């Protein structure tokens, strides 16, 4: 008799099972940071969890965001960046509770960094998970100030806060008047009455006196976000005889608004969107045709003069020929770009190293209008600038700042039946 042990298939199975069980138990019993380390290992690629509302109410915008990320690796290759990311998509279903669950799922699946999530509510839910789990979050789009005011250590935001959006937009108004030599004396503010619209109205009213605007706000007209008819609202705005319309709209109400303006033959000096969606969106431009021309949105936008923007536009047009690249795609692409640059700088996928790199990052070559991407001590990029984007030839076109302008500004807006509208 010998003490030699023989391995049968059953014994091998038991041993393998026992080993796996032991490893699993060790993993489950390990402290949280160690669990993250186990989960993440040391892979060669950076795994980015992209969290976006690709279904539900915000699906259309969520998908526009995702398209920006979908072409990111191709653009990096075009720009000779020595990086290829593994981007894993997670749908937040436009619900903060799902966003939280998906963030946890992404981290459990070994994502080293998260990017998302278009909406402030969903982003806050994800930020809390990232903070608890010690995984960096790069915010692509979300304007609620508290995201960078709560002392989060693992969150950076590459999007302006709501006050930054409004200040940037209203400051550009002065530049528009200065360049065109025409300054309206009165304006009417029309806004949806949802959370976003109400926040914008309150923000505009609060910042208006501080910014020393050259025109007077003669009325504020709010309406339901699901409005089916804006004839009364437009009649009321027209009756104020305001020279300028400031619409805080979404897509469908923006269409109703312009239809009514044309029908009621109201031709103010201009329609200047102070930072809301709607007027620059593809569906608006397509359905409004010549009546959608010459409307100006003062929003962060893609810098047409940047080589990286040109590469992004080319790749986006090739992959999604029927979809317009807008700020949603642009900021999401930049979110992924920030993750890639942080990885290149950190030379590691460890959360602490990535976060350290994010804090020190300075990205000169990017796609949105503004200075280099850099984060202050709160994690906010303060170099983002608003651009004046005018609808010209059915395309949102940067007209200001002049250094990024792709076409000259047209202001005041030509009348509805002007022959320049074709």
Q: Give 130 or 189: the residue with its C-beta nearer to another protein.
A: 189
Q: Which of 383, 382, 366 is nearest to 330 (CA)?
A: 366
Q: Give 55 or 89: the residue with its C-beta nearer to another protein.
A: 55
What is the token pair recorded at 105? 């799922």
Q: How far is the CB of 135 from another protein (least distance, A)?
A: 32
Q: Give 265 or 305: the residue with its C-beta nearer to another protein.
A: 265
43 vs 284: CA distance, rounded Å: 44
Q: How far is the CB of 230 from another protein (least distance, A)?
A: 8
Q: How far is the CB of 232 from another protein (least distance, A)?
A: 3
What is the token pair recorded at 404? 């990024």
Q: Give 248 or 346: the residue with its C-beta nearer to another protein.
A: 248
282 vs 299: CA distance, rounded Å: 15
The per-type count for the chain, helices as H runs and strands as E runs, is 14, 12
Burial 9-29 (b: 16+ CB within 10 A, else e): eeeeeeeeeeeeeeeeeeeee
Could you write out the DSSP letters of every residue in 198-211?
HHHHHHHHHHHHHH
Q: How far is the CB of 34 from another protein (least distance, A)?
A: 44
Say which residue the tokens 């009325």 belong to.
219
Interacting residues with another protein (CB under 8 A) = 59-60, 193, 221-224, 226-233, 235-236, 239, 252, 255-256, 259, 262-265, 287, 289, 291, 416
Q: Give 249 or 349: the residue with its C-beta nearer to another protein.
A: 249
Q: Give 69 or 234: the residue with its C-beta nearer to another protein.
A: 234
Burial 318-343 (b: 16+ CB within 10 A, else e): eebeeebbbbbbbbbbbbbbbbbbbb
Q: What is the sign, positive or negative, of the torsion defined by CA atoms of 242, 248, 251, 256?
A: negative
Q: How far is the CB of 119 from another protein (least distance, A)?
A: 17
Helices (H), 145-189: 162-180
Q: How far is the CB of 320 from another protein (least distance, A)?
A: 17
Q: How far is the CB of 235 from another protein (least distance, A)?
A: 6
Q: Give 243 or 313: the residue with its C-beta nearer to another protein.
A: 243
Continuous segment of H or E residues that includes residue 16: helix 9-29
Rg of the chain over all Cα atoms, to the nearest angstrom: 25
Cα angle at 44 between 42 and 47, to 5 degrees? 85
Q: Give 24 or 56: the residue with its C-beta nearer to another protein.
A: 56
Q: How far is the CB of 404 from another protein (least distance, A)?
A: 32
Strands, DSSP E only, in 92-200? 113-116, 137-139, 155-157, 186-192
Q: How far is the CB of 227 from another protein (least distance, A)?
A: 8
Cα distances from 28 to residues 16, 23, 24, 132, 152, in angstroms, run 18, 9, 6, 17, 27
Q: Give 70 or 253: the residue with its C-beta nearer to another protein.
A: 253
């Amino acid at each position: 008799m010998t003490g030699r042990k023989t391995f049968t298939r059953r014994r091998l199975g038991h041993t393998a099972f026992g080993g796996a069980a032991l490893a699993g138990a060790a993993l489950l019993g390990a402290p949280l940071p160690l669990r993250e380390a186990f989960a993440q290992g040391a892979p060669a690629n950076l795994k980015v969890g992209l969290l976006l509302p690709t279904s539900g109410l915000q699906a259309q915008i969520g998908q526009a965001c995702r398209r920006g990320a979908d072409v990111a690796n191709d653009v990096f290759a075009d720009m000779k960046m020595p990086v290829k990311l593994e981007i894993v998509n997670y749908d937040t279903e436009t619900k903060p509770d799902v966003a939280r669950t998906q963030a946890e799922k992404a981290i459990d699946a070994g994502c080293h960094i998260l990017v998302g999530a278009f909406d402030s509510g969903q982003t806050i839910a994800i930020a809390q998970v990232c903070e608890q789990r010690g995984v960096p979050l790069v915010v692509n789009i979300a304007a609620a100030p508290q995201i960078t005011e709560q002392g989060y250590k693992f969150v950076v935001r590459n999007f302006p806060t709501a006050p930054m959006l409004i200040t940037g937009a209203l400051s550009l108004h002065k530049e528009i008047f200065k360049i065109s030599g025409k300054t309206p004396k009165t304006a009417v503010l029309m806004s949806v009455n949802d959370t976003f619209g109400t926040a914008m109205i309150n923000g505009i009213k609060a910042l208006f006196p501080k910014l020393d605007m050259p025109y007077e706000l003669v009325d504020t007209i709010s309406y339901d976000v699901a409005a089916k008819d804006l004839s009364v609202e437009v009649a009321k705005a027209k009756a104020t005889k305001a020279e300028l319309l400031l619409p805080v709209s979404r897509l469908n109400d923006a269409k109703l608004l312009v239809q009514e303006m044309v029908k009621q033959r109201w031709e103010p000096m201009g329609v200047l969107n102070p930072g809301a969606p709607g007027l620059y969106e593809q569906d608006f431009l397509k359905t409004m045709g010549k009546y959608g021309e010459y409307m100006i949105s003062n929003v962060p936008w893609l810098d047409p003069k940047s080589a990286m923007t040109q590469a992004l536009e080319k790749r986006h047009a090739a992959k999604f020929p029927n979809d317009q690249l807008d700020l949603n795609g642009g900021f999401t692409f930049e979110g992924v770009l920030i993750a890639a640059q942080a990885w290149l700088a950190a030379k590691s996928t460890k959360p602490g190293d990535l976060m350290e790199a994010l804090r020190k990052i300075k990205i000169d070559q990017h796609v949105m209008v503004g200075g280099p991407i850099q984060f202050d001590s709160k994690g906010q990029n303060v170099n983002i600038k608003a651009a004046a984007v005018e609808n010209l030839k059915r395309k949102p076109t940067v007209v200001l700042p002049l250094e990024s302008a792709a076409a000259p500004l047209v202001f005041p807006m030509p009348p509805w039946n002007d022959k320049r509208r074709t």
